[in-house]
Amino acid sequence: MSKGKTTRFNGSRYAVQTSLEASKVITNATQAKPIVVTVVGHGYASGDVVKVSGLHESVDATYAVKSLSVDTFELVGSNGEDYVLSLADTTASRGVFTNICELTNYSEAGDTRAEMPTTTMCSDDEEESEPGMRTPGALTLQFNSAPATTGQQTLQKLDDETTLFWSRLRLTNGQGTVLVHGYIQTGIGMDGSTGAFFTGGVTIKKTPPVSGARSKVWFPAVTGA
């Protein structure tokens, strides 16, 4: 009898973006949807996040990327069709992540869509509607409280500075990587009682890096990785 696959919580790895690597020079960027960027010998892998700067104020952001070749990569969810992209002083910098190993619960609410009524006098006896704008959900994390750890200090700093950031969930059993972009909506709390560990939690509101992009991106596992 066949058995469907499962994905274990234990063994998965959750991390938040903490900094950026040294920048590399962008030598070309396509005026297309999505934008394909050229950086000679970039070294980026699909599922990395990369900040691009200097292309255009409406395009510059930190994107999830898909590696296309040794020298080119795609900015997932980007759109350069309506802009003249600059190549003067343009750079790319890969995000650096820090694991939060104290995590005990990961709960993501899915996005929802508004309902746009389209009922008319010809609709007979049933109301009609069409899907409206998407409202991103939120990601709730619970963890053993350890305020001195780099990961939890990073979450606190992101909250204090109201910073947009990417978080990364690498799943077990070959189920790939999930990237979520957003900001701290509910800051770190603490809860403790006699005979138990202190616990904490935080809520991340999902929001896309630029208009038209998605706040959540999934990448398949790399064979042999």
Q: What is the pTM of this model?
A: 0.90
CA of 169: how far to CAs of 17, 88, 114, 158, in Å?
11, 35, 28, 18
Pairing of strands 61-67, 72-75: antiparallel
Strands (DSSP E) contained in the chain are 13-20, 24-25, 28-29, 36-38, 49-53, 61-67, 72-75, 91-99, 103-108, 112-117, 129-135, 138-144, 165-170, 177-191, 199-206, 216-219
Residues, the chain: 225
Q: pLDDT digit string (tens) for 142-183?
A: 999 999 999 999 999 999 999 999 999 999 999 999 999 999
- Angle (CA) 198-204-206 rounded to 5° is 165
Tens place of pLDDT per residue across the chain (225 aa): 457 889 999 999 999 999 999 999 999 999 999 999 999 999 999 999 999 999 999 999 999 999 999 999 999 999 999 999 999 999 999 999 999 999 999 999 999 988 888 888 888 878 888 888 888 999 999 999 999 999 999 999 999 999 999 999 999 999 999 999 999 999 999 999 999 999 999 999 999 999 888 899 999 986 444
